[in-house]
Amino acid sequence: MNSQLKSGLSLLPGHAAPPSDREVRCAVRFPLMLPVVVACGSQEHTAFTRNVSASGVLFEMADPLKVGENIHFSLRMPGAVLGTPHDVLVDCQGRVVRCSMSQSQSQVAATIDDYQFVEQ
């Protein structure tokens, strides 16, 4: 298997490749760069989102995560993006579906399996 993808991303050893060059998107992705802490078991990783949709998120972080790992994270969605007067905190549960390298950062794609709006 070629470890260099057409997108310029390199696969990490032991991490799954995308199913094909033409992935089917289930939801519109919004290019949002939001700071986030991703929890996997007892470990926490600081990250930034690269894009967010109703069904998934792409993180950029220093360390890779394992495909299949369950994760927890909270996103503070800007009110300006949502069309609301205030930011909205969304508590999310998901799992890692893909991990690759781009320059010196890991690109971690995850599903959002469950979410809850948090009152502030």
Reported as a single tens digit per residue, the pLDDT across 34-61 is 999 999 999 999 999 999 998 999 999 9
Q: Is residue 63 part of a domain?
A: yes
- Asked if the structure places residue 54 within a domain, the reply is yes
Predicted local distance difference test score (pLDDT) of residue 72: 98
Q: What pLDDT does 80 receive?
A: 87
| The total number of structural domains that make up the chain | 1
Provide the pLDDT for residue 112. Answer: 96
The owner of tokens 């905190």 is 89
Distances (CA, A) of 84 to 15, 77, 87, 92, 97: 38, 10, 7, 20, 31
The predicted structure's pLDDT at residue 14: 43
Residues of the chain under the 50 pLDDT cut: 1-23
pLDDT at 120: 66
Expressed in angstroms, the distance from the first to the final Cα of the chain is: 48
Other Cβ atoms within 10 Å of 26 Cβ, number? 10
The pLDDT, as a whole number, for residue 82 is 82
Distance between CA atoms of residues 77 and 83, nearest Å: 10
In a domain, 118, yes or no: yes
Question: Residue 91's domain spans which residues?
Answer: 1-15+49-120
Shortest CA distance to 47 belongs to which of 94, 114, 117? Answer: 94
With respect to residue 32, please indicate whether it lies within any of the assigned structural domains: no
In this structure, is residue 70 part of a structural domain?
yes
Integer Cα distance of 75 and 73 in angstroms = 7
